[in-house]
Structure 1
Amino acid sequence: MARLAGGRGASVRRAGSECTRLERSAQRDHAQAMMFPITEHVAGGERHSTFYLSCGAADAPPLIFVHGWPELSISWRHQLPVFAALGFRAIAPDMRGYGRSSVYPRHEDYALEHSVADMLDLLDALGRDKAVWVGHDWGSPVVWSLGSHHPERCLGLVNLCVPYLPGGFTPGETGPLIDRGVYPEAEFPAGQWDYQLFYQENFAKAGADFEADVAATVKALFRKGSAAGKGQPSRTALVRRDGGWFGGAGRAPSVPRDGEVLSEADCSVYVASLQRNGFFGPDSWYMNHARNGAFARQARDGGRLSMPVLFLHGAFDYTCETMDSRLAEPMRASCADLSEVVVQSGHWMAQENPVAVNAALARFLATKLADVWRDG
């Protein structure tokens, strides 16, 4: 991994073979899981019920991991025992519409303001005033919104892949930041964000394609990144042109599971959950751009973040491409205490390269939030 200077990555040191790294990571995960078991809980209330995984001492400083689309609390399985072992209470909820948390029937039930309220309710149920919040994918806008709307509940923020956009994570905010060298406007008017517009125009078809063969969908989506895609249009830029996510085929292709991202057991958990709940809830997160933009305009201090912030760039994430485009510029202008690290991975960073993610997070906690660690 490498720290950014002036928004550009330095060279990355890599020790040992990829196979050795994965084997050692698996061995550490197993050892830590034995010492710090992950337990299951439900924080219930009249408004919403949140299922969550917990690992570590109940009185330790809370570190809450917020997943994105179409993930689950288990997306953080490589982080929970590690940070429990380091002295934190590591928590990972199923977000609304996912897993064993409440599922809702309307698109508007998945606006960001509701998920932010869910996380505040979870923090209250834990009996804590503040937490360090960690987000990925759609979990990142949730965490950014916690910082911008409820800074008093945040010790620090960490986000993977999706940078802070003070105006909201909406096409209106991402559009002007598209790299037109990769996405000429005449050919790719919405750039890599084309897939978000497909949900708005063909919501039922998007969900039907995913649900046609959920196991194939999970295997097709959860794949590691590659340097070979650099400078090339992301497949997410072609969704409307092709008439769907999978080239208009109406279902995901049959591809082998990528074992560097998901084990067979992990894959089965994702498949079972998405078969049970369907994709209506997860996909509905994309149907609230106007509501989310209005919510962003209610942020405190004009959306400026004063707490310590860490952002992890995915070197091979070509949808949330932050290395060469201007996508991260609003974040840099709006964070008073920002650290940035490049992780050699695609979009599923915490699952694909957990060693680098955990090292970056541990360093951030030790250097920027040392009092939190010590007080715990």
Structure 2
Amino acid sequence: MATLTHHDVTYAGDKKIHYLAAGPVDGPLILFIHGWPSTGITWKAQLDAFAAVGFRAIAPDMPGYGQSTARRVVDDYCQEALVEGMMALLADTGRKAAVWVGHDWGSGVTSSVAIQHPETVKALVSISVPYSTIELGWDGFLPLVNREIYPAGEYEFGQWDYMKHYEENFEKAIEWFDSDAVGFCKAITNKPAALPDRHTPVMMATVRKNGWLNGLPKPPSVEMTGPSMLPDDVFESFARDMQKTGFWSGSAYYLHHKRNAEYNGSRERKLKQPALFIHGIKDLVCDTKSSRLIEPMKEACSNLTEATIDAAHFVHFEKPKEVNAVLFRFIVEEVPSEWPGFLDSEYTKTKSDS
């Protein structure tokens, strides 16, 4: 296992981003950006694997999480403010560009980085949430809902109904998570059981009507769910951090669809750098298999690789080895300059005629 070091970068006056780093300081830089709800430590399987082969691997606690600034200030969590934080993080490494890997809202942030500062992106990896969707506000993803599963008359916001719940009743939405933060963390990191038919509407499509998890008064307690997909020490660190910050700040990412659209919508979104999208075939909320959610990324990226892993939304929790293998192969094949020693080492191969 890699030795993880802790770092802080201060920016925009009094904001702080805390991040974990592993691997040689002069190794190729790869940044792992988590989504909702996670912290930097949840990328530990990736930090260990990439540091072991010579990368400088970094995973921040995103604003609103862990040891980073987690104020109840809504403006802190729009994409413009988050990109400002990512530029401060990058500057603190002493580099001008990196391979960016994002999951969930982390994909939204890395997508915004690619739109606003394409010169800082050696390659872009999106997991579960494709580039050119969520960072563009409602218009970036709502038109892509599969209306055969979610007829507009009955499911106006499709499987994204829960996002509208945040906009309409934010404090009530957060109160439910905070009533048992550790229990909820355990429930969402529990290995998924057999999932419902892909053509059956998911619970997230009826949150405004029925409440979270079809109306449970509070999250399941830790005793009610099986073991976490995360190693025990990683889960305990993550859950402890979520209990400390609560869910208000991390969930405020959902309150800026209009503002995010204004920030990113008028910018050039064609991406020439190598890009990778990792599908979770069992992810029924960020459904990229039976909906058109992947189409904008296909249209925007001139060099796109896709990989599909037999997992649900938290792909890198559930199948870390498979995710790492896909990432390694993508970098070797599409961004060889970012593979440790690839260009500096003498490497020859002789084929025998026998």
- Name the TM-score, length of structure 2 as normaliser: 0.91
Does 2:250 align with 1:282? Answer: yes
Residues 316 and 346, structure 1, Cα contact 8 Å, conserved in 2:
yes
Name the CA distance, whole Å, in 2 between partners of 1:47 and 1:165: 31
1:259 aligns with 2:227: yes
Structure 1 residue 271: Cα displacement = 2.2
Residue by residue, what CA displacement relative to the aligned partner does 1:265-316 show, whole Å, maximum 9, x if unpaired?
33322221122111110110000111110111242xx211110000000100
Instruction: For residue 188 of structure 1, report the CA deviation from its aligned partner.
Output: 1.2
8 A contact 1:166–1:303 mirrored in 2: no
Q: Does 1:304 align with 2:295?
A: no
Aligned to 2:352: none
Q: Distance in 1 between matches of 2:343 and 2:81?
A: 31
The whole-number CA distance in structure 1 between the counterparts of 2:106 and 2:5 is 21
Amino acid at match of 2:330: F
Q: Does 1:318 align with 2:293?
A: no
Mapped partners of 1:122, 1:331: distance in 2: 25
Tell me: CA distance 1:233–1:317, structure 2 relative to 1, closer, same or farther (3 Å). Answer: same
Aligned partner of 2:8 in structure 1 is 42
Q: Does the Cα contact within 8 Å between 1:57 and 1:88 map onto a contact in 2?
A: yes
Out of 334, 337, 349, the position equivalent to 1:371 is: 337
- Report the number of matched residues: 339
Matching residue of 2:348:
none
Structure 1 unaligned runs (5+)? 1-32
Note if contact 2:191-2:227 (Cα within 8 Å) is conserved in structure 1: no
Q: CA deviation at 1:189?
A: 1.3
Shift of 1:166: 5.7
| C-alpha separation in 2, matches of 1:289 and 1:182 | 24
Residues 260/345 of structure 1: CA separation in 2 closer, same or farther (3 Å cut)? farther
The yes-or-no answer on 1:140 pairing with 2:140 is: no
Distance 1:224 1:323 in 2: 20
Aligned match for 2:319, one of 325, 347, 353: 353
Structure 1 partner of 2:351: none
Greater shift, 220-229 or 140-149, is seen at 220-229
> Which position in structure 2 is the counterpart of 1:15?
none
| Residue 205 (structure 1) aligned with residue 172 (structure 2) | yes
Cα offsets for 1:156-201 (capped at 9, x unmatched): 0101000122683422222211111211222211110000000011
Change (3 A) 1:270 1:372: closer
Paired residue secondary structure (1:307): coil
Q: Contact 2:203/2:213 (CA < 8 Å) preserved in 1?
A: no
1:185 corresponds to: 152
**CA–CA distance in structure 1, aligned partners of residues 90 and 57 of structure 2:** 12
Give the corresponding residue for 2:309: 343
Distance 2:318 2:55 in 1: 23
Letter in 1 for 2:41: I
What percentage of aligned pairs have identical amino acids?
A: 38
3-state SS of paired residue (2:155): coil
Aligned to 1:91: 58
For residue 15 of structure 2, what is the amino acid of its counterpart? H
Over residues 11-38 of structure 1, what are the superposed CA-to-partner deviations in whole Å (9 max), with x where a residue is unaligned? xxxxxxxxxxxxxxxxxxxxxx1xx212
> Unpaired runs of 5+ in structure 2?
345-354
| Equivalence for 2:83 | 116
Residue type of the alignment partner of 1:69 = W
* CA gap 1:94/1:83 in 2 versus in 1, 3 angstroms: same
Does residue 269 (structure 1) correspond to residue 211 (structure 2)? The answer is no
**C-alpha deviation, 1:375, in angstroms:** 4.8
Q: Alpha-carbon deviation of 1:86?
A: 1.7
Q: 1:227 to 1:337 in 2, by over 3 A?
A: farther
1:54 is aligned to 21
Partner Cα separation in structure 1 for residue 30 and residue 343 of structure 2: 14
Query: How much has 1:226 moved relative to structure 2?
Result: 5.2
SS of corresponding position for 1:336? coil
